[in-house]
Amino acid sequence: MLLQRVITALVLVPLVVAAVLQLSTLTLSFFLALVVLLGGFEWTRLAALGSLPEKLVFLTFLAAIIAGSAVTFHKYPQWVFPSALIFTLFWIVVSVRLLRYRRSVANASGRIWKSLLGVLVLAPAWISLLMVHGHRDGPYLVLYLMVLIWVADSCAYFAGRRWGRVKLAPEISPGKTREGVYGALAGAALCGAVVHALRPETGSLLMLILFSVVVALFSVVGDLFESLLKREAGLKDSGDLLPGHGGVLDRIDSLTAAAPVFLFGLLLLEISK
Show the domain range for 137: 2-272
Q: What is the pLDDT of residue 243?
A: 57
Q: For each successive 10 residues of the chain (273 residues), what is the average pLDDT?
A: 65 88 94 95 92 94 94 90 96 93 59 93 96 92 96 94 91 91 97 94 93 97 94 80 71 95 93 56
Residue type, position 15, single letter: L
3-state per-residue secondary structure call for 85-122: HHHHHHHHHHHHHHHCCCCCCCCCCCHHHHHHHHHHHH
Residues 6+ apart with CB under 8 A from 37: 59, 62, 63
Q: What is the pLDDT of residue 50?
A: 82
Say what the pTM is: 0.93
Residues 6+ apart with CB under 8 A from 159: 179, 180, 182, 183, 184, 186
Q: What is the pLDDT of residue 106?
A: 45
Q: What is the pLDDT of residue 238?
A: 78
Q: What is the DSSP letter of 24?
A: -
- Residue 90, phi then psi, degrees to nearest 5: -60, -45
- Catalogue the E-assigned strands of the chain: 167-169, 173-177
Q: What is the pLDDT of residue 232?
A: 87
- Element housing 16 (H / E): helix 2-22
CA angle at 166 for the pair 160 and 169, rounded to the nearest 5°: 90
Which SS3 state, helix, strand or coil, does residue 192 take?
helix
Q: What is the pLDDT of residue 105?
A: 44
- Taking the mean position of all CA atoms in its chain, how far away is CA 66? 16
Q: What is the pLDDT of residue 12?
A: 83
Domain count, the chain: 1
- The answer to whether 44 and 55 have CB atoms below 8 angstroms apart is yes
Residues 6+ apart with CB under 8 A from 227: 172, 173, 176, 253
Alpha helices, DSSP H, located in 100-177: 111-133, 138-163
CA angle at 214 for the pair 212 and 217, rounded to the nearest 5°: 110
